[in-house]
Structure 1
Amino acid sequence: MKRILGLLAIILFCPLLVTSSLAGDITVTDPWVREAPPGAKATAAYMTISNTSSRTVQLDSAASADFGMIEMHRTEMHDGMAHMKKQTGIRIEAGKNVQLKPGDFHLMLMQPHRSLKAGDQCALQLRFDNGESIAVQALVRKQ
């Protein structure tokens, strides 16, 4: 019986050990949101995401009380025209950084609940596939 309980404890707590070893290994720097023109239905958020862990992680989703919907996009060039392509996630390799920047990966912030002006703050919640969730305060600025 003790052997079964011991085995059960190992099975139940091993996932917690893996999660906690990755916790805090993701950092976000220089988060900002582009000020949108009056009446615009969308804008974008940019930042650098760093992964200091020994495993690849993926940004799975983002949320904000200031927007009804957030999607991950990447700008791609086709025949000299820029097109945004929706992403199911953004991978950050172990020990690497990914820049979300104009003309590349970004968070598309849609259905604004309020008008954001340069100098305002926008709270974002980033969720990763390792279970980590990071709260970010992004400064609204003009380009």
Structure 2
Amino acid sequence: MQLDDNTAVIEWDGTKYGIAPSDQMRLIRRVEDILGGSAVQKVLTYYSGGVTDGQLAEALGCILRAAGAKVSDIELYRQVTDAQINGDLSAAASAQNVIIAVLGLLAPPIASEMAEKAKAQSEEKKVSAKG
């Protein structure tokens, strides 16, 4: 994620979306409500049951709709779970990265570190799923 004039720019499915500064804190609170306490830690531990597929899809949907995307939670849920059934964890990893980026808006250096950790975890899962 990048900040452009304090607008958070996120990317999903090859399309970039912006979240205005005035909407960012409200969005963070809504995502935390969906995920519960220790939201960042839960997203980071998604692959070991930190959050459910439904929570991941709902949090991602909340973020994308706030940024102007026309998506439904069920559409995102299917996108993430259908890919996983075929051994492709990239949709789940992308969802993790978007959610972590938004939750880290108030502390960008930490958000970058968390996104790297999530990416490394998804890479480990890809390797173990194949092996």
Query: Taking structure 2 as the reference length, what is the TM-score of the superposition?
Result: 0.28
Higher strand share: 1
Structure with greater helix share of residues: 2
TM-score when scaled to structure 1? 0.26
Larger radius of gyration: 1
Which of structures 1 and 2 has the larger relative contact order (alpha carbons within 8 angstroms, sep 6+)? 1
